[in-house]
Structure 1
Amino acid sequence: MKILNHISGAGLALLFASLCVSSCTDGNDWGVDSAYDRLFGTKESSFSVSASAVSAEIKWESTKDTEYYIIEASTDSLYDAVQMGAEGSLVYGEDGSITQSPYTITGLMGETTYYLRIKSVSKEKESNWVYLPEYKFTTDKEQILNEPSETEITDESVSLTWEAGLEVTHITYTQDGTLVTYELTDEEKAVGKVTLMGLNPNTEYTITIYNGEVARGEIEVTTSMSVEVESEVSEITQHSAVFTWTEGVGRLTGYVLLKGDVYPSDETQNALSAEEETACRIELNNLEPSTTYTVAIMRDKVVRARKVFQTAVGIPSDYTQVTLTSRDEWAGALNDNSGKLAIIIPQGVTIDLTANTSFQTEIPAAITSLILWGEEGEDNMQKPTFKTRGLSLSGDKSEVRFYNLNVESNGTSNYIFRQKGTGTIESLSFESCNVANAAGVFCERDKGSGTLKNLSFSDCIVTNIGNYSVVYTTTNYIVNKITMVNSTVNGCTGNMFRVAQTEPYSLEITASTLYNASQALIRSDGYNSANIFTISNTLMGTVNTTTPNNNSSVTGTNVYTTSDCYSVNWATKTELSATDLFEDPASGNFVVKAADYKAYGDPRWNK
Structure 2
Amino acid sequence: MKKTGLYLLAGLFIGGMAACEDANDWGYDAAHDRPFRPTQFETVEELPTSVQVSFKGVQDATKYVFEFSKGDSLLFNNIVRTDEVLADTLTPFSESPLVVSTEYRVWFQDLDGTSRYSIRMKGVDERTGRESGYIALCFDTPNEQIFTNVIPGTNSAVLNWDATKEATTIKYGEEVETQPETETTPAVLDTIWAEPVALTSDMQGQLTLEGLKSGTNYIAQIWNNAADEVLRGTYDFRTLGSATAAPIEVKAGDDINALLAGQTGDVTLSFSGDAAYTAGELIVPEGIANLYIAGNMVNGQMPKLTMGKFTFQAPLNNVYVQYVDIVSDGSAQFLVEIGDANFFKNITFEGCNISDVPRSIVRLNSGDAEVEGITISGCLIHNVALSGYGLLNIGKAKSLQSVVIRNNTLWNITDQIIDLRVEVEEFEYTQNTFYNDANTGIPKFFRLDKQPKSITVTSSIFSGPNGGSKTNAGNSDYNWLSYAGCYRTSDLQIDSREFTDARVLSYTAAELFADPDNGDFHFNPDLHFEGDGEAGDSRWWTK
TM-score w.r.t. the length of structure 1 is: 0.48
| Preserved contact between residue 336 and residue 362 of structure 2 (Cα < 8 Å) | yes
Partner of 2:338: 419
Q: Shift of the alpha carbon at 1:328?
A: 4.7
| In the alignment, structure 1 residue 340 sits paired with structure 2 residue 261 | no
Counterpart residue identity of residue 472, structure 1 = N
Q: 1:518 to 1:557 in 2, by over 3 A?
A: same
| Preserved contact between residue 565 and residue 573 of structure 1 (Cα < 8 Å) | no
Q: Counterparts of 1:520 and 1:372 in 2: how far apart (Å)?
A: 32
The one of 390, 397, 401 equivalent to 2:309 is 390
Q: Counterparts of 2:458 and 2:411 in 1: how far apart (Å)?
A: 18
Q: Shift of the alpha carbon at 1:389?
A: 1.5
The one of 556, 569, 574 equivalent to 2:500 is 569
Equivalent position SS for 2:376: strand
Q: 1:290 to 1:522 in 2, by over 3 A?
A: farther
Q: Counterparts of 1:337 and 1:592 in 2: how far apart (Å)?
A: 46
The one of 360, 383, 388 equivalent to 1:464 is 383
| Preserved contact between residue 371 and residue 399 of structure 2 (Cα < 8 Å) | yes
| Preserved contact between residue 395 and residue 421 of structure 1 (Cα < 8 Å) | no
| Preserved contact between residue 173 and residue 218 of structure 2 (Cα < 8 Å) | no
| Preserved contact between residue 383 and residue 411 of structure 2 (Cα < 8 Å) | yes
Deviations 1:285-338, CA, capped at 9 Å, x for gaps: 8996544699xxxxxxxxxxxxx9854323333124212224552121121211
Partner of 1:371: 292
Q: Counterparts of 1:267 and 1:231 in 2: how far apart (Å)?
A: 27
Counterpart residue identity of residue 377, structure 1 = V
Partner of 1:519: 443
Q: 1:442 to 1:452 in 2, by over 3 A?
A: farther
Q: Shift of the alpha carbon at 1:444?
A: 2.6
The one of 235, 240, 248 equivalent to 1:322 is 248
Q: Counterparts of 1:603 and 1:309 in 2: how far apart (Å)?
A: 15
Deviations 1:495-526, CA, capped at 9 Å, x for gaps: 1111121x23322122220112513111123x
Q: How much is the aligned-residue C-alpha RMSD, in angstroms?
A: 3.7
The one of 257, 260, 264 equivalent to 1:331 is 257
| Preserved contact between residue 392 and residue 420 of structure 1 (Cα < 8 Å) | no
Counterpart residue identity of residue 598, structure 1 = D
Q: Counterparts of 1:243 and 1:363 in 2: how far apart (Å)?
A: 31
The one of 461, 480, 484 equivalent to 2:401 is 480
Residue segments in structure 2 that go unaligned for 5+ positions in a row: 1-141, 157-170, 195-210, 220-233
RCO (CA 8 Å, sep 6+): is it higher in 1 or 2?
A: 2
Q: Counterparts of 1:457 and 1:574 in 2: how far apart (Å)?
A: 27
| In the alignment, structure 1 residue 540 sits paired with structure 2 residue 473 | no
| Preserved contact between residue 172 and residue 193 of structure 2 (Cα < 8 Å) | yes
Q: Counterparts of 1:447 and 1:267 in 2: how far apart (Å)?
A: 40
| Preserved contact between residue 174 and residue 217 of structure 2 (Cα < 8 Å) | no
Q: 1:595 to 1:402 in 2, by over 3 A?
A: same
Partner of 2:93: none
Q: Counterparts of 2:446 and 2:303 in 1: how far apart (Å)?
A: 31
| Preserved contact between residue 233 and residue 241 of structure 1 (Cα < 8 Å) | no
Structure exhibiting the larger radius of gyration computed from Cα positions = 1
Q: Counterparts of 2:177 and 2:332 in 1: how far apart (Å)?
A: 51
Partner of 2:521: 590
Counterpart residue identity of residue 536, structure 2 = G
Q: Counterparts of 1:540 and 1:233 in 2: how far apart (Å)?
A: 28
Q: 1:318 to 1:452 in 2, by over 3 A?
A: same
Q: Counterparts of 2:144 and 2:185 in 1: how far apart (Å)?
A: 23
Q: 1:560 to 1:545 in 2, by over 3 A?
A: farther
Residue segments in structure 1 that go unaligned for 5+ positions in a row: 1-229, 245-254, 271-280, 295-307, 355-359
Partner of 2:351: 432
Partner of 1:76: none
Partner of 1:606: 541
| In the alignment, structure 1 residue 349 sits paired with structure 2 residue 284 | no
Counterpart residue identity of residue 319, structure 1 = A
Spell out the pairing of 1:244-263 with structure 2 (5 A cutoff): 257=178
Give the fraction of aligned pairs with identical amino acids, expressed as a percent: 16
Partner of 2:420: 499
| Preserved contact between residue 289 and residue 311 of structure 1 (Cα < 8 Å) | no
Q: 1:368 to 1:269 in 2, by over 3 A?
A: closer
| Preserved contact between residue 364 and residue 393 of structure 1 (Cα < 8 Å) | yes
Counterpart residue identity of residue 450, structure 1 = A
| Preserved contact between residue 482 and residue 499 of structure 2 (Cα < 8 Å) | no
Equivalent position SS for 2:389: coil
Paired residues in the alignment total 331
Equivalent position SS for 1:331: helix
Q: Counterparts of 2:523 and 2:187 in 1: how far apart (Å)?
A: 50
Q: 1:341 to 1:521 in 2, by over 3 A?
A: same
Deviations 1:44-96, CA, capped at 9 Å, x for gaps: xxxxxxxxxxxxxxxxxxxxxxxxxxxxxxxxxxxxxxxxxxxxxxxxxxxxx
Q: Counterparts of 1:390 and 1:351 in 2: how far apart (Å)?
A: 14
Equivalent position SS for 2:297: coil
Counterpart residue identity of residue 261, structure 2 = N
Q: 1:267 to 1:457 in 2, by over 3 A?
A: same
Q: Shift of the alpha carbon at 1:441?
A: 4.1
Q: Which moved more, 1:458-467 or 1:471-480?
A: 471-480
| Preserved contact between residue 508 and residue 534 of structure 1 (Cα < 8 Å) | yes
TM-score w.r.t. the length of structure 2 is: 0.54
Spell out the pairing of 1:274-289 with structure 2 (5 A cutoff): 283=192, 289=214
| Preserved contact between residue 551 and residue 568 of structure 1 (Cα < 8 Å) | no
Equivalent position SS for 1:398: strand
Partner of 1:560: 487
Q: Counterparts of 1:234 and 1:242 in 2: how far apart (Å)?
A: 18
Spell out the pairing of 1:59-458 with structure 2 (5 A cutoff): 257=178, 265-267=184-186, 283=192, 289-291=214-216, 310-354=236-280, 360-379=281-300, 382-411=301-330, 414-444=333-363, 447-458=366-377
Equivalent position SS for 2:511: helix
Q: 1:377 to 1:309 in 2, by over 3 A?
A: closer
Q: Counterparts of 2:356 and 2:323 in 1: how far apart (Å)?
A: 17
Counterpart residue identity of residue 541, structure 2 = N
Q: 1:391 to 1:478 in 2, by over 3 A?
A: farther
